[in-house]
Chains A and B, each alone.
Chain A
Amino acid sequence: MNRYEFEDLISYYLEGKLTFKKIKEFESFLKNNEESRTLVNNVRNSISDLNRLDKVVVSTRFNEKLLSKLKNKKSIVINDDKSFYGFSSRDAAMFLSLCFAIIFFSFSLIDFENYFSPTLSKSTNIVDENHQDFKSSKFRNDNNNFASDAPLDSLKKKDKKYKPNKNNKIKFVNNRK
């Protein structure tokens, strides 16, 4: 056992928390070392000094002062067993109002008019363009598979039923053979 191990075990030894084997080892270290014995005695005496310290007590008017403080406390909530998911009613109200405030301010930051109307037309344009691209590519690249498979009558019928786009953005490419 070295000096550091010995010092770490002093409190355990004095409180009787060492195993029998450790006690023997500790005591054999003490036997051979007077300085260590002095140290253990000093620690033992310090503990007993602390145990013997005069106990401090409250003043005679402690209870009286406590009662008057409780009377004066305006924020006493006697029936504070009402809680909303762990929050007191006051904290819950503050939290909710904070949430509403955040939602309100975030809505006020978003410009709905510009957000929705221009992009709505943009999105339809994108859809139309995509549709046009799809259709045109299909007609250009896949004419044999698409146009030729379908009976001519049905195509014509479809053409008759087809109502042209007012924007004239969709253009059908004629199948020229």
Chain B
Amino acid sequence: MSQNSSTLFTIHLDNKRNKYNYTDERLMSLFQAGDENAYVVLVNRYKDKLINFIYHYLKDSESAEDVVQETMIKLYQKKHYYKEIAKFSTWLYTIAKNLANTELRKRKNRKTTLLSQFSNDDKTYEIPSDDLEIGQQVQTDVVNEIIKDAVNQLSEKFKIVIILRDIQEISYEEISEIIGVPIGTVKSRINRARLQLQVELKHLRE
């Protein structure tokens, strides 16, 4: 164990050193055989995809990063639980989704309060700027926030399918395996979620 751990901890998680162009499943079988470099490649491949998914699900970047870290740790610890019957991405997304659900449950039990709620300062400050690019960027940020809020308003079962399909661009079959419902149900939920979402978002164009 000490030899394997020292190999891992001396590797620099640097994309320039990664020479593998293998499929995820091939990398996973190499990792299961003891090749720690394969684990590194998988982490670099999926860390941004996963955080994008978890962030939209939890709507909190810090918690999202913690969940992604936990997912990668589980990947390291439970590597031998993966069987090549399922796609690697499906397996990894399922782990991430379960950890995100755990985090959501913890939040509900914790009853956290936002610090902004303690502020009595309702003033808004306008800072004039002549830079058009900044103005456009701010507008884009505002629009993005509205879209994210609209997604967050959806129920849990609609939110997850919309995020996986329209943000992560994952196939219907994979979504069906990740959330564990039939493919027909996935399609129906996506359709209904889109119909609900367009109600929230149509005022953006008015």
Contact status A70-B55, CB under 8 Å: no
Contact status A71-B55, CB under 8 Å: no
A57–B61 alpha-carbon span in the complex (Å)? 9
Residues of A near B148 (CB, < 8 A) are 53
The answer to whether residues A53 and B144 also contact, given A43-B198, A45-B198 and a CB cut-off of 8 A, is: yes
Interface residues on B, range: 35 or more
Q: Is A69 interfacial (CB 8 A cutoff)?
A: yes
The answer to whether residues A66 and B43 also contact, given A46-B197, A55-B48 and a CB cut-off of 8 A, is: yes
Q: Is B5 interfacial (CB 8 A cutoff)?
A: yes
CB distance from A88 to the nearest CB of B (A): 9
Total interface residues in chain A, CB < 8 Å: 38
Contact status A58-B65, CB under 8 Å: yes
CB distance from A102 to the nearest CB of B (A): 28
Question: Which of A43, A50, A75 contacts B195 (CB under 8 A)?
Answer: A43
Q: Is A7 interfacial (CB 8 A cutoff)?
A: yes
Q: Is B202 interfacial (CB 8 A cutoff)?
A: yes
Residues of B near A45 (CB, < 8 A) are 198, 201-202, 205
Q: Is A8 interfacial (CB 8 A cutoff)?
A: yes
The answer to whether residues A69 and B147 also contact, given A11-B191, A46-B198 and a CB cut-off of 8 A, is: no
Q: Is A171 interfacial (CB 8 A cutoff)?
A: no
Of B19-27, B68-76, B123-131, which stretch is located at the interface?
A: B68-76
CB distance from B14 to the nearest CB of A (A): 9
Residues on A close to B: CB < 8 A?
7-8, 10-12, 39, 42-43, 45-47, 49-51, 53-59, 62-63, 65-67, 69-71, 73, 75-81, 83
Q: Which of A11, A12, A49, A67 has the most CB atoms of chain B within a 10 A radius of its CB? A: A49
A71–B79 alpha-carbon span in the complex (Å)? 17
Residues of B near A7 (CB, < 8 A) are 191, 195
Q: Which of A7, A43, A63 has the most CB atoms of chain B within a 10 A radius of its CB? A: A63
A39–B144 alpha-carbon span in the complex (Å)? 21
Residues of A near B48 (CB, < 8 A) are 55-58
Please, could you name 22 A-B residue pairs with CB atoms under 8 Å apart, sorted by A?
Answer: A7-B191, A11-B194, A12-B187, A43-B194, A47-B166, A47-B194, A49-B147, A50-B147, A50-B151, A51-B167, A53-B144, A57-B52, A58-B48, A59-B65, A65-B69, A66-B13, A71-B5, A73-B73, A75-B77, A76-B1, A78-B1, A81-B32
